[in-house]
DNA sequence: ATTACTGCCC
């Protein structure tokens, strides 16, 4: 077997010798010793004594050069062994070769040892050492090597300067670069084209493009490398136009571009997103015989991926005869960019099958593909593969892993990856921050920001968005203010995303005025900023302001989108602003937004929550693609309006349609059973939730079920269920029990429930009132008095009853005994008139028992002026005679008002719809849709 | 003849 063939075989195995860290020399020495002792190895090498250290023939020097070129340590070690045996290792030339070998193969200690053992190390010895450092990315060591050599009085030549200058550009060490530049000038190597080219790169890489250009212009005999170097630097510095301009100058000067020029310029076209220029270069490349240059082809794949059509990228890739690791990585990255994530994974498999090793670039794309496909489990498995394959976790990979772990909610693992990074990168920091924010770890997000910001990691708009999001969730306006200040100081206050997040964060924190201020001071007034502020108003319950802003937006001729309309419909829904909601409906039709399922669902929700179940039904039938949200909205609508049977029948339709319910749907289903008084059916649904639909009952489901049992008088069963709950009962659950205790006049249960409620929600006034009522109905007047005293002392006040009525474009507010309205006199006259009419029909005021020590005549007076009565009286004088009256109330309707409104609906022949805190009451012909069950 | 400058993929 010839030496060459043997080595070419070994070279083939070279990746296993390519390590990321310097190899410790002692290990190499050990290996050397083993090889030396093992004569069979030497025999196998077939090295004979007649091969001498002479240039020209098949010589050791050539073989060692070959080892250096391929960074193949093992064959190099065997040659070293042999040279020792031949006693040639002390020859200065031979020693320099060996220094070169060890340095190139990262055995720096070995290289250094040989240099130190040398009686007279010369420039070549040092050059060999320094070039090895540079080749392997050890810039700092290269520079200090140069300084040491310089201090020994050894002067650089035209070969050494480029090496050490390259080290400066790697480290972006402009100070060192300028010093060495000085030495270059003094020693007269400035006009050497190799040295000059490298100097051009040093200044450009350090950001000194003007100096770099000046040096370039001063090169006496520029070659193609000079040009290539400069426009490569321009491209890397994102000065793509300058790069292309310079390229044209070069072509204009009669120099023909080579494959280096072409691949660089393709890159510049990618950066400029100039596909036309890119296609021209592609054409030139084909015409001038560069179509098989791997670098240029890979650059083309990358360009078409990022700028053009992915099909073109794939076509170029398919034409590459032997795609290398970069070709594969480029096409796979393109897949991910175009969200062909499954294709990306498939191509990675093909890549491996073709015998190409996957590297950190490949895995970075793979992790993104997994994340995009929602295959977080697979992504996690790749973490193990990365570790096993000894692939360095660079910042890109760390980001990918942080993203994967964040999406699984495994923030501890995400944090571990982050902490492992030797140098924290902003992108990784942002990934972790966003992870915390998405997983509702808002406090952790703030803490991380404070810590890392303090450590000087810096920030960008992504950071600010994540922090503002956390501040919004935590409702901490002071944090929002600080971030606002930081944005102002750093120029981010004009970033559209930051503006929108500031608006959102202020609004969620309860300071809609500050949100408004941000909006008013914003240099941008586009759809997104309007959406943010409209949502902010909607969130703060200022529906009128939301509408005003919407009108202003239309003055600016901004066309609303489905987000805005959906938000406005939701505002109308929460305000029960029926007329307003209808107007928005008209707009959604006008702008053709109802094909958007989101908006269509909001419309169903709006009509249902504004009390028009007929409109809701119509809107529901027109939802283009009914999803779980559409069905849930409609089922919930029926349930709230007391149409329990319709709700349940619609639920059946949904199941027949093959749509699986979610926990929201099931709350509505239980609620429907509740309103229809279907206790047995409710129990069946509740008990089968987990088995049939795979949904674990939450607090809400328990509260609803306990309410059902409580209303039906099954107080023991209700209490049993509370005890059986797998978690601590919350305020809604105890509230349901307290309500049941009141209805069924059970003092013991009432006391237990009220005690729990006062602990869980001490500011809630209703608890005290209800308990007082329970005591009163049992004649325990002392206890009633105690509660009243307690309320006074603890400053718990009964929330005043309020009602809202929409007339034309205005919303009118009424409180108990309100006399603030301009038509107060007429309202009270109307109310007296109604009292008389319903009295004749048989209405008797139903007295609230906790008014025990108030005179009966006064009680009647107080009851007469409950806000809903005032609102209805006003509606009768201010709205068209046949239109339904829609009133919204902030508390539950009291028994007296409920009775009164039933009578009114009959005597005035009007439909009265009252939405209270829990549900809708449709009063018609003396009856209520709730069947007196609310 | 022992050392050197420019290009592609996350």
- The DSSP result for A148-172, as a single string, is HHHHTTPPP-TTHHHHHHHHHHHHT
Last residue of a domain, one of A748, A777, A799: A799
The residue with tokens 């490298």 is A198
Asked if residue A647 is part of any domain, the answer here is yes
Read off the DSSP letter of residue A808.
T
Last residue of a domain, one of A599, A624, A649: A624
Bridge-based pairing state of the strands A802-807 and A885-889: antiparallel
Compute the distance between CA of residue A238 and CA of residue A221 in angstroms, rounded to an integer.
Answer: 27
The contacts of residue A557 (CB under 8 Å, 6+ apart) are: none
Q: What percent of chain A has pLDDT over 90?
A: 38
Taking alpha carbons only, the member of A618, A681, A683, A612 closest to residue A644 is A681
- pLDDT one-digit tens code per residue, A880-912: 888 888 888 888 887 777 888 888 888 888 988
User: Do residues A373 and A405 lie in contact, with contact meaning Cβ atoms separated by under 8 Å?
Assistant: no
Please provide the DSSP assignment of A256-322 as one string: PP-HHHHHHHHHHHHHHT-HHHHHHHHHHHHHTT-TT-HHHHHHHHHHHHHTS-HHHHHHHHHH-SS
| Together in a domain, A715 and A669 | no
Asked if residue A531 is part of any domain, the answer here is no
- What does the pLDDT read at residue A11? 26
Asked if residue A489 is part of any domain, the answer here is no
Taking the mean position of all CA atoms in its chain, how far away is CA A797?
A: 42
Asked if residue A639 is part of any domain, the answer here is yes
Across residues A636-644, what is the average pLDDT? 86
H runs (alpha helix) in A55-192:
60-69, 73-86, 92-104, 108-117, 123-135, 139-151, 160-171, 174-187
Report CA(A236)–C1'(B8) in Å, whole number.
13
Nearest residue to nucleotide B10, by CA–C1' distance, is A361
| Together in a domain, A675 and A731 | no
Virtual torsion, Cα A340, A341, A344, A345, nearest 10 deg: -150
- CB within 7 A of strand B (chain A, 720-759): none
Q: What percent of chain A has pLDDT over 70?
A: 92
Taking alpha carbons only, the member of A459, A472, A481, A487 closest to residue A532 is A472
Asked whether the predicted pLDDT for residue A758 surpasses 80, the reply is yes
Report CA(A294)–C1'(B8) in Å, whole number.
8
Report CA(A205)–C1'(B5) in Å, whole number.
14
- Centre a 10 Å sphere on the Cβ of residue A286 and count the other Cβ atoms it contains: 10
A339 touches strand B (CB under 7 A): no
Domain that residue A616 falls in: 559-624
Compute the distance between CA of residue A856 and CA of residue A841 in angstroms, rounded to an integer.
Answer: 21
A245 touches strand B (CB under 7 A): no
- What does the pLDDT read at residue A59? 63
| Average pLDDT, rounded, for chain A | 85
Confidence of residue A860 (pLDDT cuts 50, 70, 90): low
Tokens of residue A830, six digits: 């109307």
- What does the pLDDT read at residue A848? 59
Across residues A534-538, what is the average pLDDT? 85
Asked if residue A704 is part of any domain, the answer here is yes
Nearest residue to nucleotide B7, by CA–C1' distance, is A260
Asked whether the predicted pLDDT for residue A245 surpasses 90, the reply is yes
Confidence of residue A47 (pLDDT cuts 50, 70, 90): very low
> Which nucleotide C1' is nearest A96 CA?
B2
| Together in a domain, A918 and A808 | yes
Compute the distance between CA of residue A718 and CA of residue A721 in angstroms, rounded to an integer.
Answer: 5
The residue with tokens 């006074």 is A792
Taking alpha carbons only, the member of A463, A449, A473 closest to residue A495 is A463
| Together in a domain, A859 and A919 | yes
Cβ-count burial of A318 within 10 angstroms (0-12 exposed, 13-18 middle, 19+ buried)? exposed
Question: CA angle A720-A722-A728, nearest 5°?
Answer: 145
> Which nucleotide C1' is nearest A193 CA?
B5
- What does the pLDDT read at residue A320? 95
| Together in a domain, A789 and A858 | no
Cβ-count burial of A253 within 10 angstroms (0-12 exposed, 13-18 middle, 19+ buried)? exposed
| Together in a domain, A858 and A920 | yes
User: Do residues A558 and A530 lie in contact, with contact meaning Cβ atoms separated by under 8 Å?
Assistant: yes
- pLDDT one-digit tens code per residue, A699-713: 888 887 888 888 888
Report how many domains make up chain A: 4
- What does the pLDDT read at residue A183? 93
- pLDDT one-digit tens code per residue, A872-888: 888 888 888 888 888 88
- What does the pLDDT read at residue A668? 87
Across residues A715-730, what is the average pLDDT? 87
Asked whether the predicted pLDDT for residue A730 surpasses 60, the reply is yes
| Together in a domain, A685 and A585 | no
| Together in a domain, A775 and A814 | no
| Together in a domain, A606 and A635 | no
Taking alpha carbons only, the member of A391, A457, A449, A464 closest to residue A424 is A457
Compute the distance between CA of residue A11 and CA of residue A14 in angstroms, rounded to an integer.
Answer: 5
Question: Count of residues for chain A?
Answer: 934
Burial letters A360-395, b for 16+ CB under 10 A, else e = bbbbbbbbbbbbeeebbebbbebbeebeeeebebeb
Q: Which residue has the higher pLDDT, A515 or A880?
A: A515
> What are A813's strand-pairing partners?
A804
> What are A886's strand-pairing partners?
A913
A469 touches strand B (CB under 7 A): no
Nearest residue to nucleotide B4, by CA–C1' distance, is A159
- What does the pLDDT read at residue A55? 39
> Which nucleotide C1' is nearest A127 CA?
B3
Tokens of residue A324, six digits: 């290398």
Confidence of residue A27 (pLDDT cuts 50, 70, 90): very low
Cβ-count burial of A462 within 10 angstroms (0-12 exposed, 13-18 middle, 19+ buried)? middle
Last residue of a domain, one of A757, A781, A799: A799
Asked whether the predicted pLDDT for residue A369 surpasses 90, the reply is yes
| Together in a domain, A876 and A808 | yes
Nearest residue to nucleotide B1, by CA–C1' distance, is A55
Asked if residue A209 is part of any domain, the answer here is no
Question: Domain holding A785: CATH number?
Answer: 1.25.40.10
- Centre a 10 Å sphere on the Cβ of residue A89 and count the other Cβ atoms it contains: 18
Phi, then psi, of A923 in degrees rounded to 5 = -90, 125
Tokens of residue A274, six digits: 């100039």
| Together in a domain, A728 and A818 | no
């Amino acid at each position: 077997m010839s030496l060459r063939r043997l080595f070419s075989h070994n070279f083939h195995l070279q990746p296993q010798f390519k390590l990321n860290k310097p190899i410790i020399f002692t290990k190499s020495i050990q290996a050397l010793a083993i090889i030396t002792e093992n004569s069979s190895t030497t025999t196998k090498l077939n090295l004979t004594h007649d091969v001498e250290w002479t240039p020209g023939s098949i010589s050791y020097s050539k073989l060692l050069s070959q080892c250096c070129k391929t960074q193949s340590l093992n064959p190099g070690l065997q040659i070293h062994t042999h040279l020792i045996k031949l006693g040639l290792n002390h020859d200065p030339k031979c020693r320099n070769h060996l220094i070169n070998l060890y340095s190139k193969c990262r055995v720096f200690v070995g290289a250094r040892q040989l240099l130190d053992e040398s009686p007279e190390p010369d420039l070549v010895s040092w050059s060999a050492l320094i070039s090895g450092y540079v080749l392997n990315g050890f810039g700092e060591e290269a520079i200090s090597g140069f300084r040491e050599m310089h201090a020994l009085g050894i002067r650089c030549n035209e070969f050494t300067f480029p090496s050490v200058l390259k080290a400066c550009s790697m480290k972006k060490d402009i100070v060192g670069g300028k010093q060495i530049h000085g030495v270059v000038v003094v020693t007269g190597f400035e006009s050497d084209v190799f040295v000059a080219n490298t100097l051009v790169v040093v200044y450009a890489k350090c950001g000194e493009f003007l100096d770099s250009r000046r040096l370039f212009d001063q090169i006496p005999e520029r070659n193609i490398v000079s040009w290539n170097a400069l426009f490569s630097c321009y491209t890397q510095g994102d000065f793509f136009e300058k790069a292309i301009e310079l390229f044209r100058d070069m072509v204009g000067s009669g120099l023909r571009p080579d494959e280096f020029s072409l691949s660089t310029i393709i890159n510049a076209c990618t950066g400029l997103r100039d596909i036309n220029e890119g296609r021209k270069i592609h054409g030139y490349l084909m015409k001038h015989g560069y179509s098989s240059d791997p670098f240029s082809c890979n650059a083309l794949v990358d360009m078409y991926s990022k700028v053009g059509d992915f099909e073109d990228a794939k076509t170029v890739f398919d034409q590459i005869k032997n795609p290398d690791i970069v070709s594969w990585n480029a096409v796979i990255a393109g897949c991910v960019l175009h969200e062909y994530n499954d294709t990306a994974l498939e191509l990675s498999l093909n890549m491996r099958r073709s015998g190409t090793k996957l590297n950190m670039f490949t895995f970075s794309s793979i992790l993104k593909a997994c994340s995009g496909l929602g295959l977080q489990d697979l992504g996690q498995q790749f973490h193990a593969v990365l570790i096993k394959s000894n692939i360095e976790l660079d910042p890109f990979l760390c980001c990918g892993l942080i993203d994967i772990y964040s999406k699984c909610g495994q923030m501890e693992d995400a944090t571990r990856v982050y902490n492992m990074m030797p140098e924290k990168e902003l992108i990784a920091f942002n990934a972790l921050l966003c992870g915390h924010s998405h997983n509702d770890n808002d406090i952790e997000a703030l803490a991380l920001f404070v810590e890392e910001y303090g450590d000087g990691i810096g920030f960008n708009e992504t950071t600010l968005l994540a922090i503002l999001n956390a501040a919004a969730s935590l409702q901490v306006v002071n944090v929002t203010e600080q971030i606002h200040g930081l944005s102002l100081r750093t120029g981010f206050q004009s970033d559209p995303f930051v503006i929108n997040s500031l608006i959102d964060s202020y609004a969620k924190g309860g300071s809609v005025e500050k949100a408004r201020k941000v909006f008013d001071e914003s240099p941008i007034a586009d759809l997104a900023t309007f959406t943010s502020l409209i949502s902010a108003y909607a969130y703060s319950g200022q529906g009128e302001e939301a509408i005003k802003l919407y009108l202003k937006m239309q003055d600016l001729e901004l066309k609303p989108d489905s987000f805005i309309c959906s938000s406005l419909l939701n505002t109308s829904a929460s305000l029960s602003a029926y007329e307003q909601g209808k107007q928005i409906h008209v707009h959604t039709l006008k702008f053709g937004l109802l094909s958007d399922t989101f908006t269509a669902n909001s419309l169903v929700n709006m009509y249902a929550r504004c009390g028009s179940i007929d409109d809701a039904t119509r809107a529901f039938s027109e939802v283009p693609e009914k999803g779980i949200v559409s069905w849930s909205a409609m089922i919930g609508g029926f349930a709230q309006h007391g149409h329990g049977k319709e709700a349940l029948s619609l639920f059946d339709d949904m199941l027949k349609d093959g749509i699986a319910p979610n926990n929201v749907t099931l709350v509505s289903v239980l609620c429907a059973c509740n309103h229809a008084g279907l206790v047995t059916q409710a129990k069946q649904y509740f008990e089968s939730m987990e088995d049939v639909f795979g949904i674990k009952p939450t607090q809400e489901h328990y509260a609803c079920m306990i309410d059902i049992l409580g209303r039906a008088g099954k107080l023991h069963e209700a209490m049993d269920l509370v005890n059986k709950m797998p978690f601590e009962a919350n305020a809604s659950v105890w509230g349901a029990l307290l309500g049941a205790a009141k209805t069924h006049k059970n003092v013991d249960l009432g006391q237990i429930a009220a005690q729990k409620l006062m602990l869980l929600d001490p500011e809630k006034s209703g608890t005290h009132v209800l308990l007082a009522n329970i005591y009163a109905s049992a004649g325990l007047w002392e206890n009633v008095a105690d509660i009243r005293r307690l309320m006074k002392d603890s400053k718990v006040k009964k929330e005043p009853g309020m009602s809202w009525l929409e007339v034309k474009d205005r919303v009118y507010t009424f409180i108990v005994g309100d006399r603030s309205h301009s038509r107060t006199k007429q309202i009270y006259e109307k109310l007296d008139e109604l009292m008389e009419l319903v009295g004749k029909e048989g209405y008797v005021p139903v007295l609230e028992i906790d008014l025990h020590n108030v005179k009966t005549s006064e009680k009647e007076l107080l009851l007469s002026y409950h806000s809903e009565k005032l609102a209805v009286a006003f509606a009768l004088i201010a709205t068209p005679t046949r239109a339904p009256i829609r009133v919204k109330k902030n508390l539950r309707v009291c028994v007296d008002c409920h009775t009164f409104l039933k009578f009114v609906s009959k005597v005035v022949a009007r439909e009265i719809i009252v939405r209270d805190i829990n549900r809708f009451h449709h009063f018609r012909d003396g009856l209520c849709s709730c069947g007196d069950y609310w």
